[in-house]
Structure 1
Amino acid sequence: MKNFVEIDRVDKNVSGVVNKSVLAGLIQRGGFYAKRLGDKVGLESEVRKALHWKIFIFPWMARKVDVAISRVFFPTRVFNNLPLVYHSGFPPNRYVGASSLEDRREGAREAAQFYQKNTEATIFSTRGAISRFRRLVPEDLCDKIVYLPYFLPDVEPVESDQIDRTFSDSDSVRILIVAEDGKKKGVHNFLEAVEIVVGRYPDLRRRVEVTVVSRSDIGRHDFAVEHHRYLPHPQVLEKFRDARIFCLPTQKDSYGLVFIEAMASGCAIIADDSPVRKEILGDGDAGLLSDPHDPEDIADKLESVIHSPEYAEGLAKQARERFLRHYHWRPVGERYVDLFRVAASGQ
């Protein structure tokens, strides 16, 4: 939500401020750790439920503010009527470990009733999430749900001719993976897939340059690997712009903002085959989809973009065009400004 500090780049008459209340922060962290401790010892309490995933908005925090927006932690008003916009979601069954949508019906209805009662609007950032949610919830509890992508003011698209230059370099094949938690994000399957590819084509061993940004250990490999446990975000964006291929066969990811960054940077993208990534990448028009649990399948996708630079460049340009149409911060930001104005008016 800190991105909304830059909403004035969209409209100079709209400004964003970050909640810096020490008291609200202490209560928020207290509720989080109380929930974690309660889960460990099997203790249930009404106080713990009341505090979990909440951020409290006190009267002094609501002064000179027309609307509040929050994600993850639900904003709870204390002695004020500040309009609320909540950024929620409804990830696929695989992400939450549910065997079917039906298993989630009760939780979805409770959430819908809560959103309907307490918010002016509830944002979902994929259309698939809205579709899944609506299948479980009565229509009269869904009229405040809206679709809006994430507002990412620091993500700018590369120029089209930069993609031409990137793919004109026939000597090196620069592949990037950005995955803070390597185990959940499939880093080891990715590296195994690269091993498979260079095993099939030994001449690639000297040409492949892999960059891994992950706090997980990656072991030793028989090809060039540059490993960063952490990089500041501007440096991560530089790595995207330098890469030819972005490959992230993530096994657990509720959304995947890195795919938006890869699209803007003009990378040929290889993702997992989750419904969320399918939607982000336009059912494969802007990137390839792979089985994240099968290194051989990931290797096949890598091979297809390595051995056909023209095909890879076409994917990269389609990814950039899709970013411009659907995820660029300016048109997305204009839709947020419109939503904030409606929420603040109470209409």
Structure 2
Amino acid sequence: MNKSRIAWLLNSAFFYWHPTLSEYTRIFPETTVFAGWWKGYAPGLEDSFKVEVMGDHKVIPILRSSTSYGSNFTYLPLNIVNRLFKFKPDVIISNSFGVWTVLALLFKPVGRWKVVIAYEGSSPGVDYRNSAPRLAVRRAMVKAADACITNSQAGKAYLIEVLKAKVDRVFAKPYEVPDPKALLEYSGSSDSRVSQLQHPIFLFVGSIESRKGLNFLLEACAILEKQKMHNYTLLVVGDGAQREELEGFCRSANLTERVKWLGRVDYGQLGTFFSAADVFVLPTLEDTWGVVISEAMVIGKAILCSKCAGAFEIVADGENGYIFDPYDPEKLAQLMSRMISDPELVSSMGKKSQQLMTQYTPKAAAEFLAKVTTTVLEGH
């Protein structure tokens, strides 16, 4: 049994972290997650790792953007320093380049711990490539850290090429991956809202805001409507500021029979809708990763993934789905039409999705992270 003490610093320890953290704790039992935002354990993973809630984080907008993450400052409780000195970790794995990572690096010589920076993935809104001051700070942080991890090859390229991290200190592999058992916890109970819907069912899950690109997906549906292609359903799961506007668009485009709005649902119930769907669509204009893609794939769904999502890297274009430009609804409509017209294609793509996900399991992710941790501990 490995007795090294590991601290995870997560601004938001949301459910998609939990499968990997659960498996990682099996390898390093003396692991504690220090969380800013916490909604409890994912279904089926209760008490599978230790959590200390430090107090909620606050995102303070600096420059808002409708199509990107925008420029933000995230405030986190500063009492993390005292807790770390009390916990006495050997290694700290800290999320991104926020306040907690800065503090972990500043007190590293005193605490004599190692620091790993976890950078989810690269995207314009979080990379700050045009901000010389931010890049200077990040380069200094990367230089002081013992290693960096990222889900994507794009994240790896950013860390090495832009932030000048040493190649042998950057490790890339998807570590935010789902556990199908947690996702399907309540999916045994059918939902009357989906049982009679026209197949194929295209599923969107996410916040209804401009950055998620749902308006372009609905424009693609409007194109299909003009082509008199009616034999499908788009299921929208989520809520947000743009919902009223987009529901109005659906009424004006005669899409009310095609598009069904379910609102926000609990994470444990998402499996019901993933199971009912045939094709998962992520039309995002910017996402550093996009764990919903892997959630849909692990349940065996065909995929339509925006090229602006970091998770497009795990989609095999033409094999388990298609990668598309979210700003091109004409092309998206063509891809949807192809899937509507060929149920066997959709079925085979769904099977391919499950096959691809056999390499991206919580256990595999935990083993990857454990290898990085061991490398750091041994000073290689």
Short-chain TM bin: 0.7 to 0.9
Question: Residue 43 of structure 1 corresponds to which residue in structure 2?
Answer: none
Residue 243 of structure 1, aligned match among 277, 295, 298:
277
Query: What RMSD, in angstroms, separates the aligned Cα atoms of the two structures?
Result: 3.8
**Structure 1 residue 261: Cα displacement:** 0.9
**Structure 1 residue 173: Cα displacement:** 1.8
Q: Distance in 2 between matches of 1:284 and 1:97?
A: 29
Matched to 1:279, the amino acid is: E
Q: Distance in 1 between matches of 2:303 and 2:84?
A: 42
**C-alpha distance 54-129 of structure 1, shift in aligned 2 (>3 A):** farther
**C-alpha distance 173-329 of structure 1, shift in aligned 2 (>3 A):** same
Question: Residue 67 of structure 2 corresponds to which residue in structure 1?
Answer: none
Matched to 2:368, the amino acid is: R
Q: Distance in 2 between matches of 1:64 and 1:97?
A: 31
Question: Residue 41 of structure 2 corresponds to which residue in structure 1?
Answer: none
The structure where strand makes up a greater share of residues is 2
The 5 Å alignment of 1:193-342 reads: 193-204=220-231, 207-208=232-233, 210-215=235-240, 216-217=242-243, 218-219=246-247, 220=251, 221-274=255-308, 276-325=310-359, 327-342=360-375
Task: Please say if residues 211 and 225 of structure 1, whose CA atoms lie closer than 8 Å, have aligned partners that are also in contact.
Answer: yes
CA deviation vs aligned residue, 1:146-192 (integer Å, no higher than 9, x gap): 11212435345999xxxxxxxxx996221110121431111121122
Matched to 2:174, the amino acid is: P
Question: Residue 112 of structure 1 corresponds to which residue in structure 2?
Answer: 139
Question: Residue 115 of structure 2 corresponds to which residue in structure 1?
Answer: 84
CA deviation vs aligned residue, 1:62-87 (integer Å, no higher than 9, x gap): 42533222213342234422222211
Residue 12 of structure 1, aligned match among 15, 26, 29:
26
Q: Distance in 2 between matches of 1:125 and 1:346?
A: 23
Q: Does 1:61 align with 2:87?
A: no
* Secondary structure in structure 1 of the residue aligned to 2:33: coil
Q: Distance in 2 between matches of 1:21 and 1:268?
A: 35
Question: Residue 129 of structure 1 corresponds to which residue in structure 2?
Answer: 155
**Structure 1 residue 59: Cα displacement:** 4.2
CA deviation vs aligned residue, 1:311-338 (integer Å, no higher than 9, x gap): 112222222211112x211111111122
Task: Please say if residues 57 and 76 of structure 2, whose CA atoms lie closer than 8 Å, have aligned partners that are also in contact.
Answer: yes
**Structure 1 residue 340: Cα displacement:** 2.3
Task: Please say if residues 68 and 85 of structure 1, whose CA atoms lie closer than 8 Å, have aligned partners that are also in contact.
Answer: yes
**C-alpha distance 339-52 of structure 1, shift in aligned 2 (>3 A):** same
CA deviation vs aligned residue, 1:262-302 (integer Å, no higher than 9, x gap): 11121111112237344221355432122211222111111
Q: Distance in 1 between matches of 2:228 and 2:331?
A: 16
Q: Distance in 1 between matches of 2:308 and 2:35?
A: 36
Question: Residue 169 of structure 2 corresponds to which residue in structure 1?
Answer: 144
CA deviation vs aligned residue, 1:219-262 (integer Å, no higher than 9, x gap): 13332433233211121233112210111211122221111111
Matched to 1:91, the amino acid is: S
Task: Please say if residues 245 and 269 of structure 1, whose CA atoms lie closer than 8 Å, have aligned partners that are also in contact.
Answer: yes
Q: Distance in 2 between matches of 1:269 and 1:21?
A: 32
Gaps of 5+ in 1: 41-48, 160-168
Task: Please say if residues 5 and 18 of structure 1, whose CA atoms lie closer than 8 Å, have aligned partners that are also in contact.
Answer: no
Question: Residue 70 of structure 1 corresponds to which residue in structure 2?
Answer: 94
Gaps of 5+ in 2: 1-9, 38-51, 65-72, 185-195
Task: Please say if residues 116 and 142 of structure 1, whose CA atoms lie closer than 8 Å, have aligned partners that are also in contact.
Answer: no
Task: Please say if residues 112 and 137 of structure 1, whose CA atoms lie closer than 8 Å, have aligned partners that are also in contact.
Answer: yes
Q: Distance in 1 between matches of 2:117 and 2:77?
A: 12
Residue 183 of structure 1, aligned match among 204, 210, 219:
210
Q: Distance in 2 between matches of 1:9 and 1:133?
A: 26
Question: Residue 376 of structure 2 corresponds to which residue in structure 1?
Answer: 343
Matched to 2:146, the amino acid is: E
The structure where helix makes up a greater share of residues is 1
Q: Distance in 1 between matches of 2:369 and 2:235?
A: 37
Task: Please say if residues 155 and 329 of structure 1, whose CA atoms lie closer than 8 Å, have aligned partners that are also in contact.
Answer: no
State the TM-score, normalized to the length of structure 2.
Answer: 0.70
